[in-house]
Amino acid sequence: MDNSHSHDISKHVKVYVAVFVALLVGTILTVTMYYIHFERMAVTISIALFIATIKASLVAGFFMHLISEKKAIYAILLATVFFFIGMMFLTVWARGEMPTGTRYVGTRVSQPGVAPNAEEAR
């Protein structure tokens, strides 16, 4: 990391500006997409997260120089991402997976005189 890289850095500046513009465009896209009413919530979520992931990758790859980073850093981040996904996925799966016949009252407060919804039995 010495000053002989200064001419390389000016090339990088072009990339930084391009990423900046892409991020702003991505933000506008995400907000616009919000106003388009999709059939299913799953589609909305997927698109929003997809655009967010692209933006995050641009920041991580170019602003944080991850695209040209060393193996040690990649190894640390790979392990982290794996455990993060594991934590998220397993926790949500655990909540959704119940023995057959469980009547999960969930967060609906029972109405007086009305039995908890039988459809909630899984």
Partner 1 sequence: MEATTHAAGLHEVHELHHEEPGFWQKYIFSTDHKVIGIQYGLTALCFLLFGFFLVSMMRWQLAYPGKAIPIVGALLEKLLGAEAAAQGIMQPDLYNALGAMHGTIMVFLAIVPLAFAAFGNFVVPLQIGAPDMAFPRVNMASYQAYFIGGVIMFTSFFIPGGAAKSGWTSYSPIATLADQAHTVNGQTLWIVGMVFLITSSLLGAVNFIATIIQLRAPGMTWMRLPFFVWAQFVTAFLLLLAFPPLEAAAVMQLMDNLAGTSFFLPTGLIVSGKVAAISGGGSPLLWQHLFWFLGHPEVYVLILPAMGIVAEVIACNTRKPLWGYKSLVYSVLAIGFLSFIVWAHHMYLTGMGTKISTFFQTTTMIISIPSVIILTCLFLSLWGGSIRFNTPMLFSLAFLPMFGIGGLTGLPLGFNFSDLHLHDTYYIIAHFHYVVAPGTIFGLFAGIYHWYPKATGRMMSEFWGKVHFWLSLVFMNAIFMPMFTQGFAGLNRRLYDGGATYANSETVLGIPHSIIALNEQISHAAWALGLAQIPFIINFFVSMVKGKKVTSDNPWDATTIEWQTPTPPPHGNFAKPVVAHRAPYEYSVPGHAADFVPQSQV
Partner 2 sequence: MDIPYTIQPRPDTGLFNAKVGIWLFLASEVMLFGALFSSYILLRVGADPVNWPHGLLNIPIGTFNTAVLITSSITVVMAWASLKMGNFKNFRRYQAVTLLCALSFLAIKSYEYRDKFTHYEIWKTDGTRMTGHLEGAPWFWNTKTLEGREAVTFHPDPTHYSMPRSHESSAGEEHGAGHELKIPVSEIKRLSAFVPAHSTFFAIYFTLTALHALHVLGGAIVIGFLWGPGAKMWKTEPERFTNRIEVSGLFWHFVDLVWIFLFPVLYLL
35 makes contact, choosing from partner 2, partner 1, none, with CB < 5 to 8 Å by partner type, with partner 2
DSSP conformation class of 39 = S
94 binds partner 1 (CB under 8 A): yes
* Exposed / middle / buried, residue 86 (Cβ in 10 Å: 0-12, 13-18, 19+): exposed
- Pick the closest to residue 62 from 5, 28, 13 (CA basis): 13
Question: Tokens standing for 75?
Answer: 């190894």
Tell whether residue 8 is a contact of partner 1 (CB under 8 A).
no
- List residues near partner 2 by CB under 8 A: 1-3, 5-6, 9-10, 12-13, 16-17, 19-20, 23-24, 27-28, 30-31, 34-35, 37, 44-45, 48-49, 51-52, 55-56, 59-60, 63-64, 70-73, 76-77, 79-81, 83-84, 87-88, 91-92, 95-96, 106-109
Give the shortest CB-102-to-partner 1 separation in angstroms: 6
Q: Does residue 53 contact residue 23 with C-beta atoms inside 8 Å? A: no
